[in-house]
Amino acid sequence: MSVAATARRRKRVNPLQRAERRQAIGFISPALLGLAVFTVLPVGLAIVMSVYDWPIFGEREFIGLGNYAELLSKSPDFWPSLRNSFLFALGYVPLNLVISLGLALMLSARIRGRAIFRVLFFIPVVTPMVANAMVWRLMLQPAGPLNGISEAMFGITLPNFLVDKNWAMISIIVMSVWAGMGYNMLIFTAALEQVPASVIEAAELDGAHGFTMLWRIVLPMISPSVFFASVMTIISALQVFTQPQLLTNGGPGTSTVPLVMFIYNTGFKFHDLGLAAAAAWLLFAIIISLTAVQFRAQSRWVHYEH
Amino acid sequence: MSTDAGRVEDTRDVLSLGRPGTILAWVSVVVAGVLFASPLIYAFFSALKPANEVLATPPSLIGSEVRWSNFLEVFTYAPFGTYILNSFLVSIAGVCTVLVVSTTAGYAFGRLRWPGRDIVFVLFLGTLMVPQEVLVIPMFVVMQWFGWVNTFPSLVFPWAFTAFGTFLMRQFFRGIPWELEEAARVDGAGPVRTFLQVILPLAGSAIAVLAVFTFINYWNSYLWPLITVNDYKALGTLPIGLASFSNQTGTRWDLLMAASMISILPTTLLVILLQRHLIKGIATSGLGGR
């Protein structure tokens, strides 16, 4: 740009506007600086790390796509951990959505103590997941209350939930639904309160009630919220870590090690940060593509008001 | 929107179930509520039992004696005083950082005019797509470079600059009438004074919601402290302290439950006290699910 052009441009900006721009830079710089250091830099670094053999301490070595190749073809734990993450999501997401929607529907009726129940179902969402997991570890012990009650009342000995290979993942899913579904319940509650009374009344006049009302009227009306909730719930399911770490520690064997635990173990137990970074990229790619697929499919079932 | 919400606040039943249906819904909710609460209730009473009775068969809700002293023994058995203090310090430092960064940046994006603003904002929001689980590995290396591994700042700053708070504050600031700001300008106030004396005081409720959710996120954070803290006795936060406590003390379920109840208490109280604001915050912004 020539000096003359710059000068002309300057002229069009009055001093007040120039002051506002200067101050905007001041207001924005803490956030931009922080984001550069703590998000942009790590993202860039993650790309570099994923093509290096990068131990926590010691010499680093460029190995091209070696880490990715190792994950996809050699690492004995990567595919199982991916499978475990998907198994978890497959159980967790539908259960979470169905139960939270069911509760939101029941709580939308004019019943006593609605506010109290809403807060109750929401509490585990905001308490430390570590503490929630401890509570459930006690519940699910062989000598714990669940099995104790079953034995005392029915004479039936329940399986050892946290170490039985058929039950460990189910236990993690159930516990996670308990801890997480209050969030979606609130999203759905808010959506249900926005459904206009006139629509419900009109449908009533046409003879709709119960299941027909739910399927034909209510669900389409709140479909944007259902869409939002399912996208967010799938993302959070693929990030599961704390619950299996504390309930089963990935066991029995590696049957409940999800992808994030694989990343954590690879990086901080086996000190292979490069391999962990590569696995993290694969996780990111999976999350982004699943989300993209959902956005493309939404026109089939999500109705937005125009 | 507020009028809409007001009109339907006392909701009619959306499924037109009628009276028997409503009664059925109520019974189902009560049953679900009792089932839902029972692990927490049982855990609380377990925290009051003598150590050897927690796993007794057949199980009972109340042990042979009620030992409130368990809640004190937790502090002598493990450095729980330190864990709690650290958790509070980290959470409060995190809240302060997030509030300063989010309100200033939200003001620049929402109320000031500068070239490239909207493009920068979109890029800014784009960073929200990268989940924490993807960032922890390189973030650890950044901490190594800074010499921050196993330090207090590493618990606070890495996650204090996410675009989320900025987004929330921008949305709120844009809803404030421009006339107020113009009046301040006419009186000779620059952007800094307008921000401090006009905009911020009006944003109290949004700031409170952001503060509470930020506090909850820091308070519950587990994966990152697990990575960056080695010296639990000095820098352990409640979640990692609780997790390591459970590994050391396999058999002291009474103390483990007491410690769990202690760590559940602050955020539970926050939610109960501020339920209206938080529920509204979640409903309008999909906030807090991280």
Residue A85 falls within a domain, yes or no? yes
Examine the pLDDT at B284 and tell me if it is beyond 70: no
In a shared domain, residues B64 and B81: no
B117 in contact with A, Cβ within 8 Å: yes
Examine the pLDDT at A305 and tell me if it is beyond 80: no
Residue A62 falls within a domain, yes or no? no
Chain B neighbors of A239, CB-CB under 8 A: 131-133
In a shared domain, residues A83 and A200: yes
B64-95 pLDDT, tens digit per residue, is 889 999 999 999 988 999 999 999 999 999 99
B114 in contact with A, Cβ within 8 Å: yes
Instruction: Give the model's confidence band at B8: pLDDT under 50 very low, under 70 low, under 90 confident, else very high.
Output: very low
Phi-psi region of A210 (alpha: psi -120 to 50; beta: other; left: phi over 0): left
Q: Output the pLDDT for position B7.
A: 38
Chain A neighbors of B282, CB-CB under 8 A: 183, 186-187, 190
> Using CB atoms, which residue from B11, B135, B227 is nearest to A108?
B11
Domain final residue, candidates B49, B68, B87: B68
Residue A282 falls within a domain, yes or no? yes
In a shared domain, residues A283 and A134: yes
**SS3 at position B230:** coil
A42 vs B138: CB contact, 8 Å cut-off? Answer: yes
In a shared domain, residues A153 and A28: no
Bigger pLDDT: B41 vs B8 = B41
Residue A68 falls within a domain, yes or no? no
Query: ipTM, 2 decimals?
Result: 0.89
Task: Please give the Cα distance from B214 to B94 (Å, whole number).
Answer: 7
Instruction: Give the model's confidence band at B12: pLDDT under 50 very low, under 70 low, under 90 confident, else very high.
Output: low
A35 vs B124: CB contact, 8 Å cut-off? Answer: yes
**Among candidate residues A276, A30, A250, the one with its CA nearest the CA of residue B140:** A276
Compute, in degrees rounded to 10, the torsion defined by CA atoms B62, B65, B68, B70. -90
Task: Please give the Cα distance from B104 to A24 (Å, whole number).
Answer: 9
In chain A, the number of structural domains is: 2
Residue A66 falls within a domain, yes or no? no
Task: Please give the Cα distance from B117 to B128 (Å, whole number).
Answer: 18
**Among candidate residues B152, B170, B166, B168, the one with its CA nearest the CA of residue B91:** B152
Minimum CA–CA partner of B188 in chain A: A16
The pLDDT of A148-158, averaged and rounded, is 92
Sign of the alpha-carbon dihedral angle for B21, B22, B23, B25: positive
Strands A61-62 and A52-53: antiparallel
A92 in contact with B, Cβ within 8 Å: no
Domain final residue, candidates B31, B48, B68: B68
Task: Please give the Cα distance from B86 to B158 (Å, whole number).
Answer: 17
Examine the pLDDT at A129 and tell me if it is beyond 70: yes
Examine the pLDDT at A201 and tell me if it is beyond 80: yes
DSSP code of B158?
Answer: G
In a shared domain, residues A227 and A267: yes
Q: Output the pLDDT for position B5.
A: 37
Residue A65 falls within a domain, yes or no? no
Token duo for residue A226: 């259902």
Q: Output the pLDDT for position B10.
A: 43
Bigger pLDDT: A66 vs A17 = A66
Percent of chain A scoring above 90 in pLDDT = 74
Composition of chain B by helix, strand, coil, percent to 5: 75, 0, 25
Bigger pLDDT: A21 vs A68 = A68
**Domain range enclosing B51:** 2-68
Chain A neighbors of B270, CB-CB under 8 A: 126
Length of chain A: 306
Residue A59 falls within a domain, yes or no? no
In a shared domain, residues A105 and A11: no
The pLDDT of B269-289, averaged and rounded, is 72
**SS3 at position B113:** coil
> Using CB atoms, which residue from A28, A45, A110 is nearest to B138?
A45
In a shared domain, residues B141 and B249: yes
Q: Output the pLDDT for position A300.
A: 86
- For chain A, where are the alpha helices, taking DSSP H only? 3-12, 15-35, 41-50, 66-69, 78-108, 114-126, 129-140, 145-154, 168-193, 197-205, 210-212, 219-221, 223-238, 242-247, 259-264, 273-301
Give Cα B244 to chain centroid, integer Å.
22
Examine the pLDDT at B249 and tell me if it is beyond 70: no
Q: Output the pLDDT for position A175.
A: 98
The Cα of B225 is separated from the nearest Cα of chain A by a number of Å equal to: 12
Examine the pLDDT at B146 and tell me if it is beyond 90: yes
A239-287 pLDDT, tens digit per residue, is 999 999 999 999 899 999 999 999 999 999 999 999 999 999 999 999 9
Helix or strand holding residue A52 (H, E): strand A52-53
Residue A210 falls within a domain, yes or no? yes
In whole angstroms, how far apart are CA A39 and each of A31, A115, A261, B138? 11, 39, 22, 10
Q: Please state the pTM of the whole predicted model.
A: 0.91
Tell me the CATH number at B112. 1.10.3720.10
Bigger pLDDT: B109 vs A305 = B109
> Using CB atoms, which residue from B127, B279, B286 is nearest to A39?
B127
Are the beta carbons of A121 and B279 closer than 8 angstroms?
no
The Cα of B196 is separated from the nearest Cα of chain A by a number of Å equal to: 12
In a shared domain, residues B105 and B35: no
Examine the pLDDT at A3 and tell me if it is beyond 70: no
A118 vs B26: CB contact, 8 Å cut-off? Answer: no
Q: Output the pLDDT for position A6.
A: 55
**Domain range enclosing A293:** 75-301
> Using CB atoms, which residue from B104, B113, B267 is nearest to A127?
B267
**Residue to test with chain B: of A52, A57, A130, most B Cβ within 10 A:** A130
In chain B, the number of structural domains is: 2
In a shared domain, residues A182 and A228: yes
Task: Please give the Cα distance from B45 to B66 (Å, whole number).
Answer: 9
Token duo for residue B262: 């202690």
A226-240 pLDDT, tens digit per residue, is 999 999 999 999 999
Q: Output the pLDDT for position A12.
A: 64
The pLDDT of B153-174, averaged and rounded, is 92
Mean pLDDT of chain B, nearest integer:
87
Instruction: Give the model's confidence band at A49: pLDDT under 50 very low, under 70 low, under 90 confident, else very high.
Output: very high
Bigger pLDDT: B287 vs A147 = A147
- Which residue reads 């089963």 in tokens? A248
Residue B290 falls within a domain, yes or no? no
Task: Please give the Cα distance from B286 to A232 (Å, whole number).
Answer: 9
Burial of residue A271, with CB atoms counted within 10 A of its CB: 0-12 exposed, 13-18 middle, 19 or more buried: middle
Q: Output the pLDDT for position B246.
A: 84
B225 in contact with A, Cβ within 8 Å: no
B200-243 pLDDT, tens digit per residue, is 998 888 898 899 989 999 999 999 999 999 999 999 999 999 99
Rounded to the nearest 10 degrees, the angle between the axes of helix B253-273 and helix B275-285 is 80
The pLDDT of B100-108, averaged and rounded, is 95
Minimum CA–CA partner of B192 in chain A: A23
In a shared domain, residues B251 and B278: yes
Domain final residue, candidates B23, B39, B68: B68
B154 in contact with A, Cβ within 8 Å: no
Tell me the CATH number at A199. 1.10.3720.10
In a shared domain, residues A162 and A120: yes
Chain B neighbors of A285, CB-CB under 8 A: none
- Lowest mean per-residue pLDDT among A17-21, A160-164, A184-188, B162-166: A17-21
Task: Please give the Cα distance from B54 to B12 (Å, whole number).
Answer: 45
Burial of B37-58, coded b for 16+ CB within 10 Å and e otherwise, reads bebbebbbbbbbbebebbbeee
Chain A neighbors of B29, CB-CB under 8 A: 103, 106-107, 111, 117
> Across the A/B interface, how many CB contacts are shorter than 8 Å?
328
Are the beta carbons of B105 and B169 closer than 8 angstroms?
yes
